[in-house]
Amino acid sequence: GAGVSQSPSNKVTEKGKDVELRCDPISGHTALYWYRQRLGQGLEFLIYFQGNSAPDKSGLPSDRFSAERTGESVSTLTIQRTQQEDSAVYLCASSLGPGQGQNGYTFGSGTRLTVV
């Protein structure tokens, strides 16, 4: 597609439920990233995919968080047993390859997750 698409745009869930967030990157972009943005804060790195592999998962906050990517395309971020501190905007970005400079990173509009 023309840009990075994320769904849903908003998600309200009850504490303890599992949620899945989806990212459709730009076609042909081999690198995909998930970031989290808490209210009033900058973005925190969660995970990096090169193709379908995740060489860097160091930013995932706990084992309740997992992500996968298939077909070198769509990625899903799953949060199990959600907690209130998981409330944030989850942003996905893609690039042709890692660290592609000026035009490298294209971000989606994010999924706003609220855990009640």
Q: What amino acid occupies position 76?
A: T
Shortest distance (Å) from residue 1 CB to other proteins: 15
Asked whether 69 and 90 are in contact (CB, 8 A), the reply is no
What is the sign, positive or negative, of the torsion defined by CA atoms of 89, 94, 27, 102?
positive
Nearer to other proteins by C-beta: 50 or 80? 50
Mask: binding to other proteins, 5-44, rule CB under 8 A, as x and -? --------------------------x-x-x----xxxxx
C-alpha span between 71 and 14 (Å, rounded) = 31
- The answer to the question of residue 45 lying near other proteins (CB under 8 A) is yes
Q: What phi and psi values does residue 103 have, to the nearest 5 degrees?
A: -100, 15
C-alpha span between 26 and 88 (Å, rounded) = 23
How many residues interact with other proteins (rule CB under 8 A)?
Answer: 28
Residues lying near other proteins in the complex (CB under 8 A):
31, 33, 35, 40-45, 48, 56, 59, 89, 91, 93, 95, 98-99, 101-107, 109-110, 112
